[in-house]
Amino acid sequence: MKLIVGLGNPGAKYARNRHNIGFMALDRIAQDHGFTAWKGKFHGSVSEGRFGSDRAVLLKPETFMNNSGQSVQAAMKFYKIDLADVIVFHDELDLAPGKVKCKTGGGHAGHNGLRSIHAHIGADYDRVRMGIGHPGHKDAVAGYVLRDFPKADEGWLDDVLRGVSDGAADLLRGDKGRFMNAVALRVSPPRSGTGSKGAKTPQESKPQAKAAKPAVPEPKVAPEPEAEAQSPLQKLMDRFR
């Protein structure tokens, strides 16, 4: 069994915040894969389901971001889940919007949700880092992550969430390569056709033969008038001229 955690803050006020992209990922997975309705447990919301024969528990901690570890620890204890079977989806300032990367272990890089999880269960769990971009200055980070995604971001955001859901079963089985490929197919789908953009067809690329000049018709020459028929006497006189 795997425990899949999405980080965010509870309540409608925060639902579309950049900081809540982890919640959004789990909502998409639960919806697409027929998981159970969300129920309040372990200081959070829980949904259960399967990917084939693989069972998974989805957890959205509702202790607010700074205390996420409390909820994760309670769920791990109840289901007897090892640290190696925990996967956390979270927002990542150091990745461009639309970029997704997987990681195991490492530091929390100042992310308060990860900081809390580290403190409660340790650092050696799997993570899915979901890029939201950086505001450019550290003093602007708090306001940036607690603002909603703008409408201009809705296209790539929907692609990322669908890709994460497409590859969730592979991630659960530990095949991170196939998971990342599923995300890439949504975010950057292959172009149709194999030719280069604007390439000419063979027929188009061949030089066009010069059009033959239309033949100028020769002027019609009027037939010479036939000589008038001569009498026998005129013929005889012509012989002696």
Catalytic (active-site) positions:
19
* 130 neighbors 22 (Cβ within 8 angstroms): yes
Q: Which of 37, 36, 126 is nearest to 81 (CA)?
A: 126
Helix (H) or strand (E) holding 202: helix 202-205
Beta-sheet strands, E only, within the chain: 2-6, 39-41, 44-51, 54-61, 86-92, 100-104, 126-131
CB 87 within 8 A of CB 128: yes
Residue 82 in 3-state DSSP?
coil
In sequence order, which ranges of 2-152 are alpha helices (DSSP H)?
21-32, 68-79, 112-121, 141-145
Amino acid at 229: A
Phi, psi (5° rounding) for residue 76?
-60, -40
